[in-house]
Each structure stands twice: as structure tokens, then as C-alpha cells.
Amino acid sequence: MARELLKLEHINKSYEDRQILEDLNLTIHENEFLTLLGPSGCGKTTILRMIGGFETPDSGRILFDGKDITSLRPEKRQVNTVFQKYSLFSHMDVAENIAFGLKLKGKSQSYIRDKIKYALKLVNLDGYEHAQVTQMSGGQQQRIAIARAVVNEPKVLLLDEPFSALDLKLRQSMQREIVKLKKELGITFIFVTHDQQEALSMSDTVVVMNQGWIQQIGTPESVYNEPENAFVADFIGDSNIIDGIMVRDKLVHLLGKDIPCINTGFGENVPVDVQIRPEDIQICAPEEGQYRGIIRQVIFKGTVYDITVEAGGFSWLIQTITGHEQGAEVGIRLAASNIQIMAKPASEDEEAVSDE
């Protein structure tokens, strides 16, 4: 594991009478691509702004390389921010925008010239030095904003939902560019998004947040395949989440039937949340499934079909690469390894409540 670079310790923040963050603790490592993921209002942008120095916590502290920077001004931090709105200067050309921070630092003309060339090559915009930013596309403007941040050689680059204004194809292209850029620069990236697919495809570490609380920290694979609670399971991708009873280790009572699973350690006859991903459910002949049901809806989504099956008193979402006929009777088969058991939330703060 890389060394610790940033630590947020016991952070609290309120706006008027609304608590945004409560006793938040987070460690970020050197050269890590960490994404803060959650619905609007969960506190992720507030965290980013605190790290950047644009907000101050009500209590708690922020450490950078072991030094307390909680009250340090933004320009004194080894951090640069790429904002959602880009914040480019419309009266300046591309080179002038990129050079702005370097001029404030009193760098020489030759140094600035070299840095501009380096940054433009890095973001695949060679030769655009004298282009007017107002005449550039959204994707090009985003790259200029990134180049402007990179030339200042920050140890941490903060990105606040930088692709939200771009169309799907351009957004996906920029996601690939950012991952490539991170590998080339070897610096720490902290990325804010509410887009689950974006977080899963780009990150080393995903921090899932809800209502000012961290719900889970882990790799993209772990938060998707092993969610710690129903909120994470529901927020990260599509899920079927069903009330169940853990009969004993490796056996869960689900919709009137005892179903084998691989989970242990929950105790006996304990209420649990059961998560099954739509792609992990097999449609079979009625007599071959653990449940029998009727196909209520079939939606073609390009690469897969979303199929809704009413079975066992529950409306199942199933994803398959083959279509099925609406109204047909089918069976549903669940593999033990594809059933994820989660503890019921211990408090309202863990409840699976999203405001989106």
C-alpha cells in the first residue's frame, strides 16, 4: 500500500441548520485514484472543497503529508481543482489560460512556454496555443482546464464532476483520457461524481456516501460484488434487494423457500437483506427453477434485455443477452455464489434512501 498523503479526521460541517458531514474520517494514499460517489447532497463536493481550501470544517482537521492544512489558503496547498464549469477565462487564448497560475508564481517566460507545450501534448491539444477557448468544444475546454491544473505540478488533482456537461460518447472518451493521464503523471486524483459507471470504470478506490456518512470504502469490484448494506447495493448498479431470514450459515429463507448461499457469520434466524444482481439470475423452464413466475415486461437495451418477472410475490429484474416473450411462464434459478447477504441497517443513517 502506498503511503498516506491526505487524512481527514473527525470532520463536521453544517450549513445553517443542516448537517452536511458528521464525524467523517478518510485516508487518501499517494498516487491513488479515489472517487467520492453518492447522490446529490451527500457531502462529496463539500469534502473536495475542504481539501482544496475553499471550505473550512466546523471541527476536525485535514492533514497533508502529516502537516495540518485545515486553515491554509488554497494557493498555499499542493492541490489544484478542475471545476464542473471549467472556469476558463473567455478573454484569454488557450496558452494564456494555461499560463495564468504560472505567471502568478513569477515563473520565467521560457519555463512557462515549455510547460504550455508539455501540458497541451499531455491532453492531446498540440498546436492549440493561440485558439480562443470560446470557440472550442466542451471536451476541448475540459482538457484545457485539466492542462491549466497540471502545469502547476500539484501533488493532488481534484475533479468536481468534470464531465457532467458532456454527451455520452465524449464523456466516455474523457474518462479514458483521465485514467491515462493519471498513469502518466503519477499524482493523486480525487474525483467527485454521482455516476456509478464512471466511478467503477476509473477508480482505484470508491468511497460511497449517503447523507453525510461514508457507507463503504473499497475497490470498484468489492463495492459492486460485496456491498456492505442495502444503500450501496441499490446505488451501485441494478439490484434485486429482498427481505430474508438467515436460517443458519449458508442457508437463507427467501420468499417462502430455503435457498443455499455461501455466506456465514450472521447467526441463526436473523433478519437480513438479500441482494442478487440482475445478470446473476438465470431464466429456465418453470419446473427447473427455485421459483415459478410470469414475464411481465421485456425491454431491449442494445446489449442486454431487461426482463421483469413476477415470482414468489416479488418483481424480479433480470438481465439476459437473449430475449423472452412477455406473458410466458418461466422458472428462476439462483446460484449460491451469486447471493449476497447483508446485515439489516442498525440506524436510519444506514438506510437505503437516495434523493435521486
Angle ∠(23,26,29) on CA atoms, nearest 5: 165
Does 350 reside within a domain? no
What pLDDT score was predicted for residue 166? 75
Give the pLDDT band of residue 355 (cuts 50, 70, 90). Answer: very low
Count: domains in the chain: 2
Does 356 reside within a domain? no
| Residue that finishes a domain, picked among 197, 225, 253 | 225
pLDDT digits (tens, 9 = 90+) for 177-230: 888 888 888 899 999 999 998 999 999 999 999 999 999 999 999 999 999 999
Name the nearest CA neighbour of 124 among 181, 198, 183.
181
Same domain (yes/no): 249, 217: no
Same domain (yes/no): 168, 49: yes
Q: Which of 82-86, 171-175, 234-238 comes out lowest in average pLDDT?
A: 82-86
Same domain (yes/no): 13, 147: yes
| Residue that finishes a domain, picked among 171, 192, 225 | 225
pLDDT digits (tens, 9 = 90+) for 304-350: 999 999 999 999 999 999 999 999 999 999 999 999 999 987 655 54
Q: What is the pTM of this model?
A: 0.84
pLDDT digits (tens, 9 = 90+) for 46-62: 999 999 999 999 999 99
Per DSSP, 132 falls in state B
Q: Quick check: 9 pLDDT over 60? A: yes
Per DSSP, 252 falls in state E
pLDDT digits (tens, 9 = 90+) for 22-51: 999 999 999 999 999 999 889 999 999 999
Same domain (yes/no): 195, 325: no
Residue 295 to residues 131, 256, 299, Cα–Cα distance (Å): 56, 20, 11
CA pair distance 39, 206, nearest whole angstrom: 14
Same domain (yes/no): 269, 163: no
Does 252 reside within a domain? yes
Same domain (yes/no): 150, 193: yes
Same domain (yes/no): 202, 334: no
CA pair distance 84, 74, nearest whole angstrom: 18
Name the nearest CA neighbour of 213 among 98, 346, 66.
346
Same domain (yes/no): 253, 125: no
Per DSSP, 93 falls in state B
What pLDDT score was predicted for residue 219? 97
Residues 6 or more apart whose Cβ sits within 8 Å of residue 301: none
pLDDT digits (tens, 9 = 90+) for 107-143: 899 999 998 998 898 888 888 899 998 888 888 888 8
pLDDT digits (tens, 9 = 90+) for 244-300: 999 999 999 999 999 999 999 999 999 999 999 999 999 999 999 999 999 999 999
| Residue that finishes a domain, picked among 225, 252, 269 | 225
Task: Please report where in the chains the cell 508539455 appears, as a residue.
Answer: 118
Same domain (yes/no): 185, 60: yes
The crossing angle, in degrees rounded to 10, of helices 94-104 and 138-150 is 20
What pLDDT score was predicted for residue 353? 38
What pLDDT score was predicted for residue 157? 92
Give the pLDDT band of residue 105 (cuts 50, 70, 90). Answer: confident
What pLDDT score was predicted for residue 141? 87
Which domain covers residue 51, as residue numbers?
Answer: 4-225
Same domain (yes/no): 169, 79: yes
Same domain (yes/no): 87, 221: yes
CA pair distance 53, 62, nearest whole angstrom: 10
What pLDDT score was predicted for residue 346? 63
Does 353 reside within a domain? no
Does 232 reside within a domain? no
Does 188 reside within a domain? yes
Q: What is the CATH number of the domain that holds 178?
A: 3.40.50.300
Same domain (yes/no): 219, 307: no
- Helix or strand (DSSP H, E) at 145: helix 138-150
